[in-house]
């Protein structure tokens, strides 16, 4: 989905597909596409039309299955990442890339419906991985607070440290319960977009807080690569951006609250 000029705002999508007989011709650029350099295919979302809405024109999006090696489809190296250094992203270029109509996923102009079949699950997955990394940072912090001595006693004796641990534990438990509830609803087919948004938002922002406090508790040692904390801290930053930014999650939640009142 993501393009240089269209991330959270898909109205700005420039990549497009036009029908030509029984084929579709794709043109445009995508970027930040995860592991496209090693993938055998990509699912590309393209603008295929517009419709009028009370808020103005809205892009109609269609999903297409594009095989690696298709003429007119090229994968270029993307950007180096501060978070998740083992993660690769790529730039996809479509230059009069012709594919058959059978490569349309779902229905024409119904690309959002296709994306929604997995977006909720991936947001839940992001939240769950945040729980695991927060737990690791927290365990290091508790052990450090109990064994590291300053001023003749373990630093955990000081409220400046012990209260951080209490807040970290509370935020982790709250995020865990939200993830479990969202997962339970998802398994039952009852999860709403807002359920997934709340779980993702809480867990990602919790990890940012826990990782930062873990480094603070460890002092200078927390930033050394002898410990995993600096990596957890770096990796935490992207979680509030991909699979929907924190701002988009808040938008989803607030719209779900206000929509029944017509607001």
Q: What are the average pLDDT values for consecutive 10-residue runs of the chain, which has 263 residues? A: 79 90 97 93 95 82 96 94 88 97 95 84 95 98 98 97 99 98 96 96 99 98 96 97 94 96 85
- Domain range for 139 is 113-261
Distance CA 141, CA 234 (A): 17
Q: What is the dihedral of CA 235, 243, 4, 21, to 10 degrees?
A: 140
**pLDDT of res. 85:** 87
Question: Would 188 be classed as within a structural domain?
Answer: yes
DSSP 70-130: -TTEEEEE----SS-TT--EEEEEEEEEEEEGGGEESSTT-HHHHHHHHHHHHHHHHHHHH
**133 and 38 within one domain:** no
**118 and 14 within one domain:** no
Q: Domain boundary at 75, 91, 109, which?
A: 109
Considering the entire predicted model, what is its pTM?
0.89
Question: Would 169 be classed as within a structural domain?
Answer: yes
Question: Would 182 be classed as within a structural domain?
Answer: yes
Q: Domain boundary at 82, 109, 136, which?
A: 109
Question: Would 3 be classed as within a structural domain?
Answer: no
**pLDDT of res. 98:** 98
Return the CATH number at 167: 1.20.140.10
Question: Would 20 be classed as within a structural domain?
Answer: yes
**46 and 18 within one domain:** yes
**pLDDT of res. 113:** 87
**144 and 30 within one domain:** no
Question: Would 132 be classed as within a structural domain?
Answer: yes
Q: Tell me the catalytic residues.
A: 243
**85 and 128 within one domain:** no
Q: Domain boundary at 52, 87, 109, which?
A: 109
DSSP 190: -
């Amino acid at each position: 989905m993501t393009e240089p000029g269209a991330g959270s705002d898909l109205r700005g999508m420039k990549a497009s597909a036009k029908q030509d007989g029984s084929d579709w011709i794709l043109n445009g650029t995508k970027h930040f596409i995860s592991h496209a350099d090693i993938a055998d295919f990509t699912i590309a979302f393209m603008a295929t039309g517009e419709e009028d809405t009370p808020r103005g024109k809205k892009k109609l999006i269609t999903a297409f299955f594009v095989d690696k090696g298709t003429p007119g489809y090229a994968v270029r190296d993307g950007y180096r990442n501060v978070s998740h250094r083992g993660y690769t992203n790529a730039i996809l270029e479509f230059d009069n890339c012709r594919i058959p109509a059978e490569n349309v996923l779902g229905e024409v102009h119904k690309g959002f419906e296709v994306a929604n079949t997995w977006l909720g699950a991936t947001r839940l997955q992001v939240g769950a991985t945040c729980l695991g990394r927060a737990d690791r940072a927290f365990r290091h912090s508790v052990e450090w607070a109990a064994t590291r001595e300053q001023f003749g006693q373990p630093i955990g004796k000081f409220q400046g440290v012990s209260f951080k641990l209490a807040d970290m534990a509370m935020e982790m438990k709250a995020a865990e319960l939200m993830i479990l509830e969202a997962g339970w609803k998802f398994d039952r087919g009852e999860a709403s977009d807002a359920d997934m948004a709340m779980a993702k938002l809480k867990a990602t922002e919790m990890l940012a807080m826990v990782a930062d406090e873990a480094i603070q508790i460890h002092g200078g040692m927390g930033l050394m690569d002898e410990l995993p904390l600096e990596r957890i801290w770096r990796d935490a930053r992207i979680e509030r951006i991909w699979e929907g930014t924190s701002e988009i999650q808040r938008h989803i939640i607030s719209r779900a609250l206000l929509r029944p009142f017509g607001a």
